[in-house]
Structure 1
Amino acid sequence: MRIKDFVDRIPGGLMLMPLLLGALCKTFVPGAPAYFKGFTMGIMTGVIPILAVWFFCMGASIKLSATGTVLRKSGTIVLTKLLAAWAIVMVTSLFIPAEGIQTGFFAGLSILAIVCAMDMTNGGLYASLMQTYGTKEEAGAFVLTSIESGPLMSMVILGASGVAHFEPQIFIGAVLPFLAGFALGNLDPKLRAFFTPGGILMIPFFAFALGNTIDLSTLLSPLAGLGVVLALSVIVLTGIPLILADKFIGRGTGTAGLAASSTAGAAAANPLAIAAVAPQFVPTAQSATVLVAICIIVTSIVVPILTGIWYKAFGKGMAEQARADDPVPQMAHAD
């Protein structure tokens, strides 16, 4: 059976398929963890410890050295995405209460859902799109998107916008595994090579545990339609600044900016991770997780379509010229 090939054909499949399997367990056999106990219970409910290992491995995979072009492209995309998310949270926090919206079509929408949907780019989707529609420097610009991984940037945005207050030790606790991995990975290349595969290996495990916090019956509520609206908002509200930044700062065609206007598969873990260290977000964490999961699916489908249209209209000539000037084969990357 070619299970891995099937999963790889689904955008964000390595995250979404185990998450769906966990959600099916939660929906139809919610008592399974308590019934089996032991290691089975641990793998079904251990989101936080599994995420901690993942953050460590992600930190270890980040290399300080990079070419100026790749660094400029990476920095432009990452900073623009984070600043756009911060501005959106600043504005929406004026209208959305801390406990989220409780009635009407927008019931379930919260600041937590908005920040987690907006501030992380699907690096694998971006890199694969740039393999087709960009240059090798643009494809390599996903190198800094790992900085967005995990709840730290979401917490920074929430704190900077005044939506939440985090004690210093909470920030330290959230970032310490990442920094420890980053330090070891850059002190010893062999340790980087050893720990880096864990960044991918841990994804299906924390996705499955995360899925075990989601009851699929919530998708029968207005959250489904609301999730689609939120996903389209992610593309529009982060895509426009990203296109402009790519054109005027990154000196691109705007294609790379549009390709980065997605929600990362790993973002589905952030609401629960933030709620674990900031109890004020617990009431909105489950609905935020569902909304972010919908955003992952919708943006993974819509962003490639829009990127292809934009490329044919505005970026094809410049990208082909860049490839002709530097015919070095491009390398594929995984999210």
Structure 2
Amino acid sequence: MKIKKTIDKIPGGMMLIPLFLGAIIHTAVPGASDYFGGFTKGLMTGTVPILAVWFFCMGAAIDVRATGTVLRKSGTLVLTKIAVAWVIAMIAVQFMPAGGIQTGFFAGLSVLALISAMDMTNGGLYASIMQQYGTKEESGAFVLMSLESGPLVTMLILGSTGVAVFEPQLFVGAVLPFLVGFILGNLDHDLREYFGKATHTLIPFFGFALGCSIDLGVIADTGLLGILLGLAVIVVTGIPLILADKFIGRGNGTAGLAASSTAGAAVANPMLVANMKPEFLPAAEAATALVAACVIVTAILVPILTAYYSDYMKKKNPPVDLPPVQKAAV
């Protein structure tokens, strides 16, 4: 059976299929983890420890010896994505209650959901798109996108906008596994290779554990809103990213549009933040469902839009063909 190949055909499948499988189990048999106990309970409820290991391995996989072009391009995209999420949070705080909207079409929408959907780029999706439509340096720009992984950036935005107050040690705890992995991976190339292999392996495990905390009824209730939020992520983050890529990253905007997605790992952020600040628990489940919808929508649309945009830019600025004499000279 070609199970993996089938899952790989689905955008973000290795994260989303286990997540929905866990959600089905939790919805049908809410007490399954307590009933089985032991290692099975750990697998179904171990989102935080599984993600801690994943963050460590992610840090170990990053090579500090990146070229200046890669650092400039990735730094531009990462900082722009974070800045846009911060601005959106600042605006949303003025109109949205702390616990999110509770009634009407926008029920479930919260500042936590908005930040989680917008502050992280799907690095793997970006790299695969740019391998086809960009340069080698642009493709490698996903190197710094790993720094967005985890709840740290979401916590920083929530704290700076006054939505929540986090004790300093919580910020340290959120980033420490990543930093330890980063240091070890750059001290020893063999360790980087060893731990780096685990980054993809762990994705379905934390997806399943996360799904085991979600009621499918919540996903159904936020379905259309999640799709609209996914479209909003592409528009709201995509336009500034295109402009930043053009004027700072020295590209034509293709890399910016390719970075306007929602990372699969962002699905875990609402629950991770809620574990540290229980006041977010009422909004976390709906926020998780909304972010999951954003992952699917952006994973489908961003590659299509990037392809059209890339073709448009190539037609607008076609490469200059050199005369035969000049080609020979080159």
TM bin (shorter chain): over 0.9
Cα separation, 1, equivalents of 2:49 and 2:319: 45
Deviation at 1:57, TM superposition (A): 0.8
Distance 1:318 1:266, change over 3 A: farther
**What is the number of equivalent residue pairs in this alignment?**
321
Deviation at 1:317, TM superposition (A): 7.0
Deviation at 1:243, TM superposition (A): 0.3
Matches within 5 A, 1:171-186: 171-186=171-186
For 1:313, the aligned partner's letter is Y
| Residue 151 (structure 2) pairs with residue 151 (structure 1) | yes
Deviation at 1:320, TM superposition (A): 6.6
| Residue 41 (structure 2) pairs with residue 36 (structure 1) | no
Deviation at 1:220, TM superposition (A): 2.7
Does the CA-based 8 Å contact 2:219-2:286 persist in structure 1? Answer: no
Does the CA-based 8 Å contact 2:219-2:290 persist in structure 1? Answer: no
Residue matched to 2:75: 75
Residue matched to 2:14: 14
Q: What SS class does the counterpart of residue 303 from structure 1 fall into?
A: helix
Residue matched to 2:304: 305
Residue matched to 2:286: 287
CA deviations on 1:90-146 (whole Å, 9 max, x unpaired) are 111111111101111111100110000000001111111111111111111111110
Distance 1:138 1:281, change over 3 A: same
Does the CA-based 8 Å contact 1:254-1:315 persist in structure 2? Answer: no
Cα separation, 2, equivalents of 1:320 and 1:208: 47
Cα separation, 1, equivalents of 2:169 and 2:12: 32
Question: What TM-score results when the alignment is normalised by the length of structure 2?
Answer: 0.94
CA deviations on 1:210-236 (whole Å, 9 max, x unpaired) are 010111122332x11111111111111
Deviation at 1:316, TM superposition (A): 5.7
Question: What TM-score results when the alignment is normalised by the length of structure 1?
Answer: 0.93
Cα separation, 2, equivalents of 1:244 and 1:117: 20
Over the matched positions of the two proteins, sequence identity in percent amounts to 65
Structural RMSD (CA): 1.5
Q: What SS class does the counterpart of residue 94 from structure 1 fall into?
A: helix
Matches within 5 A, 1:106-185: 106-185=106-185
Cα separation, 2, equivalents of 1:247 and 1:146: 22
Cα separation, 2, equivalents of 1:151 and 1:307: 28
CA deviations on 1:253-272 (whole Å, 9 max, x unpaired) are 11110111000111101111
Residue matched to 1:218: 218
Distance 1:238 1:27, change over 3 A: same
For 2:137, the aligned partner's letter is E
| Residue 281 (structure 2) pairs with residue 275 (structure 1) | no
| Residue 224 (structure 2) pairs with residue 231 (structure 1) | no
Does the CA-based 8 Å contact 1:117-1:295 persist in structure 2? Answer: yes
Distance 1:8 1:319, change over 3 A: farther
| Residue 118 (structure 2) pairs with residue 96 (structure 1) | no
Distance 1:77 1:315, change over 3 A: farther
Residue matched to 2:328: none
Residue matched to 1:244: 243
Cα separation, 2, equivalents of 1:94 and 1:307: 33
For 1:19, the aligned partner's letter is L
Cα separation, 2, equivalents of 1:109 and 1:315: 39
For 2:236, the aligned partner's letter is L
Distance 1:178 1:319, change over 3 A: farther
CA deviations on 1:1-39 (whole Å, 9 max, x unpaired) are 111111222211111111111111111122211111111
Residue matched to 2:66: 66
Cα separation, 2, equivalents of 1:124 and 1:133: 14
Cα separation, 2, equivalents of 1:94 and 1:6: 44
Cα separation, 2, equivalents of 1:316 and 1:73: 23
Bigger Cα Rg:
2
Distance 1:205 1:35, change over 3 A: same
CA deviations on 1:187-224 (whole Å, 9 max, x unpaired) are 22221111111211111111100010111122332x11
Cα separation, 2, equivalents of 1:68 and 1:59: 20
Unpaired segments ≥5 residues, structure 2: 321-330
For 1:100, the aligned partner's letter is G
Cα separation, 2, equivalents of 1:88 and 1:79: 14
